[in-house]
Structure 1
Amino acid sequence: MEKIKHIHPHPAADAGCPTGSCPHCSGHDHSFEEASPKAEAIRLTISLIFFALGIIFRSKLQASPYRIGEYVIFLIPYLTVGYGVILSALRNLINGKLFDENFLMTVATFGAIALGEMPEAAAVMLFYTIGEMFQERAASSARRSIQALTDIRPDTTYLVSDSQGSDPRKTDPLLVEPGSLVLVRPGERVPLDGIIVSGNSFFDTSALTGESVPVRVEPGSQALAGSVNGQGLLIIETTARYGDSSLARIIKLVEEAAERKAPTERFITRFARVYTPAVVGAALLIALLPPLLLADASFAEWIRRALILLVVSCPCALVISIPLGYFGGIGGASAAGILIKGANYLETLAELDTVVFDKTGTLTEGVFEVSGVYPEKGYSREELLGLAAFAESHSNHPIAGAIRRAAETIPSEFRIDASLNTFEEIAGKGVRAEWLGKPLLAGNQTLLRENNIPSPPPVEKDKGEAASSVLIAYGENYIGTIAVSDRIREDAAGLVTALHGKGIRHTVMLTGDSETGAKAVAEKLGLDSYYAKLLPDEKLSKLEEIMASPRTYKRTAFVGDGINDAPVLSRADVGIAMGGIGSDAAIEAADVVLMDDKPSNLATAITGAKRTRGVVLQNIIFSLGIKGLVILLGIFGLASMWMAIFADVGVALLAILNSTRVLKMFKA
């Protein structure tokens, strides 16, 4: 199966360097990049040897009758490593593209040769080549962190005829249809999403989630493409084609993430388009005006100063290191189980000051259990559960499932086995059914009030429970309450404290659950505020209200399960979904997906984003500061060509090396 090839951290031609034709920004189209690593090393070694010989014997050659030998010995390394730059400059000149790095370096080095500064001319090309080698290796390191995902795509799968694994046939995963049975041996990767039909094992899902702890699987367990089978022989019934699998979606989104630019990247793009032509114009004025206007000024000296300015003016340190920094950040995040869909969202994460949470499935596990049954006089616990389970029999809400499971434990004479002919589910309120000609309601106080049934007194529950109350009414009377609890995630316990430590000033929870249940969760986790009894559309309105609040000074994130919260995820400055590897809605609606269901990874994502942004700002300040200083020194004749080489190639190299640090900045 073909591996990914097009991921590249450099800006696209139309959005990178001023012309889109510098070798850094156009995909390194000159011959240096096309050569094999061995050929590059040989060429660089030869150039370094001749450059060293030139430095050693330069003074002797200048004092001998063979002065031309200085030009010969320095032209060898100059042309060996620099001919690709010169050819690119000529090609771009023919195509009408000026002011790119090739043009600047070619003009500067030709001028240095004309002035007899052969070591400087050779050094510009030589150190540029060395810097480019380091840059390519840094880019490769960033690419590898993302390509690790693409490398887990299985090339083959084995179709079988039955759950016993009979007649295995080697097949391309792209050709396997849903409903097929596939064989996965120990140590092999699961080729397609599916359900385990037979066999027991442990799955290594670290490539998908960043979680190294093996997951136990058995018949009926979900199998996600890309997971590594541990020790058992498994038969899996596929549930999706390869293109629709969770692995394929994640790979596609990570590939696309590299194309979405952060505001800082877009600013540098615009800046480079103005900066380089301006410096070229300034260099031309410096070369011509002082000799014409000042009596003691010589053309040779002012041309030398102009050439220094041209070398310094290359914006490589910014145009390369900033996209590389964000690219590495996306790769580092994916390795930690955090899918960030673009550099723009990475930068937004670094600016957050408000985080809004959905409750169910985000701060809580979304696994509901009946924690209390409180019947009114005249009804028993078993009767109340039986009626409630009958009313909820057609609902797919998790709370309805918890009530039905609890009803399975009561004696059979209290269970209603009749078919439910009248049923209506009312969003955000509950369900309405009918039993023996009388209405049967299960829901919240709003549902009872709308049906003119007096609200019951509040039921006392343990304040430590994250409980929701389901009120049951039969006929015209309230007959009892069932408390359903959702366990708080262990991983969420220290989340709010961690977020406050990362600069998040306001944490909020939005939920459709009861006031009592919402308050219990908010108090236990230490949230700053919460809003309960919200209908789905009211969550969106409440988020907009929070975003417009004076307490929110920067950016707002919404964290949800990505299934029922799609509008809210889309409206927030950055939408963050939990459990995205199993949810299409999460991957589509969210900007960031925490792939292993751990709320604590939100703090990790914010920390990594802030560190990435810090590295990018360091590169901007350092690069502009050094270049600005050398430009000023060059104008006043205080800078040498060697200083200019450092301000171009040296600064770019240091910025690139600094950018590679972000690969490790998403470690918890």
Structure 2
Amino acid sequence: MKVIELELEGLNCAGCAAKIEKFSNEIEGVSSAQLDFVTKKLKINIINDNDEDDIKGNIKKFVKKVEPEVKVLDINANHAHSHEHNHDHGKADKKDIIRIGISLILFIIPNLLKLEGNIRFITYLLSYLIVGYDVIIRAIKNVAAGIQFDENFLMTLATFGAFIIGEYPEGVAVMLFYQVGEMFQGMAVNHSRKSITALLDIKPDYANLIAEDEITVVNPTDVAIGDYILIKPGEKVPLDGIVVEGESTIDTSNITGESVPRNIREGDHIISGVVNNHGLLKVQVEKEFGESTVSKILDLVENASGKKAPTENFITKFASIYTPVVVFSALIIGILPPILAFGDLRDWAYRAFIFLVISCPCALVISIPLGFFGGIGGASKSGILIKGGNYLEALNDVETIVFDKTGTITKGTFKVTKIFNYDDYSKEEVLELAAYGEAFSNHPIGKSIVESYDKEIQREYIKDYKEISGKGIEAKIDGNTILLGNKDLLVGNGVEIEEVDSIGTTVYISEGNKHIGTIIVSDELKENTAEDIGRLKKLGIKETIMLSGDNQETAEKVGKLAGLDKVYGDLLPQDKVNAFEDILSKKTNSKVIFVGDGVNDAPVLARADIGIAMGALGSDAAIEASDIVIMTDEIGKIATAIKIAKNTKKIVTQNIILALAIKLIVLVLGAFGIATMWAAVFADVGVSIIAILNSIRALKVEK
């Protein structure tokens, strides 16, 4: 199965977007198609690669019918276009302003000169045709193409009707107001899109490639792994790599939302998108641009609006029902009362035309995806990647958060803080045996013991090394069997131990069948952890839980310091999944978040209603397994994400209530003959503009 990506340049009509998406899904050979109105990208999954050209051709023909001015661009053929495209079709076109101006002058003349009879009619008709000819032409083409209930058709029918019943000024005024409204609506949509995409202006434009002692300015996509690039002061880092020469500070606010500069020197890893403040840095590239951090962030955020929130899906379904219901109501209002002799045909027809004008649900269809995408864009600026509007909305329903301990609640930087020695073994000997035992371990605790030993390890003395999941390590060192790990490992092998009470991780060591020593490895709580947990409680989180592989007593001590409600200790990797499943089964009416490092906790992250990966910038496993990626390791960012979600939900709800309330009021007033067609146009395009501008507020992030 192949994915085709098309960009619909100049698409500002949400109703047209829905029609294009529907048509694309109905094409033979297409398994699914999704059009993101915010990014104007249409993604089509095709079954057979051989059908690609025919499918593209069909879509282009249909787009030409629905929106003649929209250009269909093939992103697959020119991938660089997808991030660099910046054509501005939301600006008011000079030709449109001129014809609206001419039409307005002609509209004023009959009243100004007190024209009567045929001259009056011709002047209004000329004004109407000048301002509305494109709407009329599109309406005729769409009817011929079998497109029903199109906005152009409904507006043409309503204004034609106004002329037929002798309401010439009303017919012209409605078309004028509609065209001006559409122009401002296009500008508002474009302004909203630009406000959102401005937050994501992290893509580097070039790279200084070093080749044969010469520096060449190239596109970042042309740089290969292993190449060397030079990053000058003030420049964005174009690709992920390792600093091989130089020292500087970097501004990471583009990526993490943090304003404090970070020091960087030779040997440090550096990610794309950050800004070099003052030093000259030579970097060896570790990832191609397509796999770089900045590329992943852009793709994640741009694709996020493809995963629609439940509210968006509801409005899409509602809109497909709303328009036909209002149109048929207009038909009944225009025909039934006059037949039953309840009034004048002209009067009831006028009321029916009001229904036709107000039957397009543009305010809802446009503003809601813009609102959710605004929330996602604002979150990304704060260093929080939310992979879909569905996850953003789900944050409103969270009552329980489950945390992993190491690297989430604690810093994950272990240090040997205490050594106990027994039976003529010195502390140095205990540490040496432990270091040899942990020589092949990738676990942070094992690494901390090796670092504390700080001497060269002769690995040829280590034989029969094996890790015992969730317990520790067994190995033969210089011919002697060594066990090091938790209490269960040694007791299970018949070794009597002297237990030690500590808040840190306890590593028991035995040689032969004798307990020779104990090492305490401590991890620190992250700064402000207790305060951050308190902030989550204030936002409506009812229960905070920690899952840990540490013994229950140690885990409970950490949990108490952090201010957590419940702690599960002594958990093997598979036990974490079982414990989380148990928590999920008890929370059927609310959402449960799991927060972990995204690599070791991938199974639980995937199982959670919302999986949040902490401090996982650049980690493929984290981005793949989680629904939200926090690009720093701060628990406080979870509270920020929930605040953004609540603010976005509030704005979206405001738009729904505003649009539906005003439309309903005007519909009722129109049915009773109180509202005019002017009011109907305001309830259509006027409310759309207000809702779109309101959606921009979702970009604002409260700390």
Q: Cα deviation per residue 1:294-326 (whole Å; 9 max; x = unaligned)?
A: 2x5221111111111111221111111111111
Q: What is the match of residue 270 of structure 1?
A: 317
The answer to whether structure 1 residue 106 and structure 2 residue 106 are counterparts is no
Contact 1:156 1:172 in 2 (8 A): yes
Contact 2:486 2:506 in 1 (8 A): yes
| Equivalent of 2:174 in 124, 134, 153 | 124
Shift of the alpha carbon at 1:345?
Answer: 0.8
The answer to whether structure 1 residue 398 and structure 2 residue 444 are counterparts is yes
Structure 1 365/25 Cα, relative in aligned 2: closer, same or farther at 3 Å? closer
Q: What SS does the corresponding residue of 1:495 show, helix, strand or coil?
A: helix
Matches of 2:19 and 2:400, distance apart in 1: 33
Q: What is the match of residue 623 of structure 1?
A: 659
Matches of 1:419 and 1:113, distance apart in 2: 99
Q: What is the match of residue 371 of structure 1?
A: 417
Question: What are the residue-to-residue correspondences of 1:200-215 with 2, within 5 Å?
Answer: 200-215=247-262
Question: What are the residue-to-residue correspondences of 1:440-451 with 2, within 5 Å?
Answer: 440-451=482-493
The answer to whether structure 1 residue 285 and structure 2 residue 332 are counterparts is yes
Shift of the alpha carbon at 1:367?
Answer: 0.9
Shift of the alpha carbon at 1:135?
Answer: 3.3
Matches of 2:465 and 2:131, distance apart in 1: 79
The answer to whether structure 1 residue 529 and structure 2 residue 566 are counterparts is yes
Q: What is the match of residue 467 of structure 2?
A: 425
The answer to whether structure 1 residue 510 and structure 2 residue 551 are counterparts is no
| Equivalent of 1:193 in 236, 240, 249 | 240
| Equivalent of 2:134 in 57, 61, 84 | 84
Counterpart AA for 2:221: L
Counterpart AA for 1:277: P
| Equivalent of 2:586 in 526, 544, 549 | 549
Matches of 2:330 and 2:233, distance apart in 1: 66
Structure 1 206/215 Cα, relative in aligned 2: closer, same or farther at 3 Å? same
Matches of 1:247 and 1:576, distance apart in 2: 19
Contact 2:377 2:699 in 1 (8 A): yes
Question: What are the residue-to-residue correspondences of 1:127-526 with 2, within 5 Å?
Answer: 127-148=177-198, 151-160=201-210, 166-294=213-341, 296-408=342-454, 418-457=460-499, 459-461=500-502, 465=503, 467-526=504-563
Contact 1:347 1:609 in 2 (8 A): yes
Shift of the alpha carbon at 1:642?
Answer: 2.2
Counterpart AA for 2:258: E
Q: What SS does the corresponding residue of 1:582 show, helix, strand or coil?
A: coil
Matches of 1:6 and 1:256, distance apart in 2: 15
Q: Cα deviation per residue 1:59-113 (whole Å; 9 max; x = unaligned)?
A: 455x54466336525742x444433332222222111111122222121111112
Matches of 1:333 and 1:37, distance apart in 2: 25
Q: What SS does the corresponding residue of 1:366 show, helix, strand or coil?
A: coil
Contact 1:145 1:332 in 2 (8 A): no
Structure 1 17/241 Cα, relative in aligned 2: closer, same or farther at 3 Å? closer
Structure 1 437/254 Cα, relative in aligned 2: closer, same or farther at 3 Å? same
| Equivalent of 1:40 in 72, 81, 93 | 93
Contact 1:468 1:516 in 2 (8 A): no
Shift of the alpha carbon at 1:37?
Answer: 6.9
Contact 1:379 1:479 in 2 (8 A): yes
Shift of the alpha carbon at 1:50?
Answer: 4.6
Q: What is the match of residue 641 of structure 1?
A: 677
Matches of 2:274 and 2:676, distance apart in 1: 57
Structure 1 335/141 Cα, relative in aligned 2: closer, same or farther at 3 Å? farther
The answer to whether structure 1 residue 604 and structure 2 residue 627 are counterparts is no
Contact 2:91 2:187 in 1 (8 A): no
Matches of 2:36 and 2:307, distance apart in 1: 18
Shift of the alpha carbon at 1:147?
Answer: 3.2
Structure 1 644/159 Cα, relative in aligned 2: closer, same or farther at 3 Å? closer
Shift of the alpha carbon at 1:516?
Answer: 3.4
Counterpart AA for 2:119: I
Shift of the alpha carbon at 1:393?
Answer: 0.3
Counterpart AA for 1:545: D
Unmatched 5+ residue regions in structure 1? Answer: none
Q: Cα deviation per residue 1:143-183 (whole Å; 9 max; x = unaligned)?
A: 33553476433333233258xxx332333322322222221
Matches of 2:36 and 2:238, distance apart in 1: 37
Q: What is the match of residue 699 of structure 2?
A: 663
Q: Cα deviation per residue 1:239-292 (whole Å; 9 max; x = unaligned)?
A: 111111111111111111121111111111111111111111111111111111
Shift of the alpha carbon at 1:48?
Answer: 4.9
Matches of 1:637 and 1:24, distance apart in 2: 39
Structure 1 426/125 Cα, relative in aligned 2: closer, same or farther at 3 Å? farther
Contact 2:107 2:172 in 1 (8 A): no
Shift of the alpha carbon at 1:49?
Answer: 6.7
Shift of the alpha carbon at 1:31?
Answer: 6.6
Shift of the alpha carbon at 1:619?
Answer: 1.4
Shift of the alpha carbon at 1:114?
Answer: 1.8
Q: Cα deviation per residue 1:557-599 (whole Å; 9 max; x = unaligned)?
A: 1111101111111111111111232311111111111112221
Unmatched 5+ residue regions in structure 2? Answer: 1-5, 25-34, 41-62, 72-87
Contact 2:124 2:169 in 1 (8 A): no
Contact 1:420 1:434 in 2 (8 A): yes
Q: What SS does the corresponding residue of 1:508 show, helix, strand or coil?
A: strand
Shift of the alpha carbon at 1:434?
Answer: 1.1
Matches of 2:169 and 2:247, distance apart in 1: 69
Q: What SS does the corresponding residue of 1:168 show, helix, strand or coil?
A: strand
Shift of the alpha carbon at 1:421?
Answer: 2.1
Counterpart AA for 1:445: K
Task: Out of 633-642 and 493-502, give the one that drifted further.
Answer: 633-642
Q: What SS does the corresponding residue of 1:647 show, helix, strand or coil?
A: helix
Counterpart AA for 1:557: I
Matches of 1:33 and 1:135, distance apart in 2: 16
Aligned length: 646
Matches of 1:380 and 1:53, distance apart in 2: 102
Q: TM-score, normalised by structure 2?
A: 0.86
Contact 1:43 1:80 in 2 (8 A): no
Task: Out of 79-88 and 41-50, give the one that drifted further.
Answer: 41-50
Q: Cα deviation per residue 1:99-147 (whole Å; 9 max; x = unaligned)?
A: 1222221211111122232333233333333333443344334433553
Matches of 2:510 and 2:147, distance apart in 1: 78
Q: Cα deviation per residue 1:352-399 (whole Å; 9 max; x = unaligned)?
A: 111111111112111111121122343221111111111000001111
Q: TM-score, normalised by structure 1?
A: 0.90
Matches of 1:350 and 1:344, distance apart in 2: 11
Task: Out of 261-270 and 519-528, give the one that drifted further.
Answer: 519-528
Identical pairs, percent: 47
Matches of 1:19 and 1:420, distance apart in 2: 65
Matches of 1:534 and 1:657, distance apart in 2: 50
Contact 1:154 1:191 in 2 (8 A): yes
Contact 1:145 1:335 in 2 (8 A): no
Q: What is the match of residue 688 of structure 2?
A: 652
Matches of 2:195 and 2:558, distance apart in 1: 37
Q: What is the match of residue 57 of structure 2?
A: none
Contact 2:242 2:286 in 1 (8 A): yes
Structure 1 50/97 Cα, relative in aligned 2: closer, same or farther at 3 Å? closer
Q: What is the match of residue 51 of structure 1?
A: 104
The answer to whether structure 1 residue 68 and structure 2 residue 119 are counterparts is yes
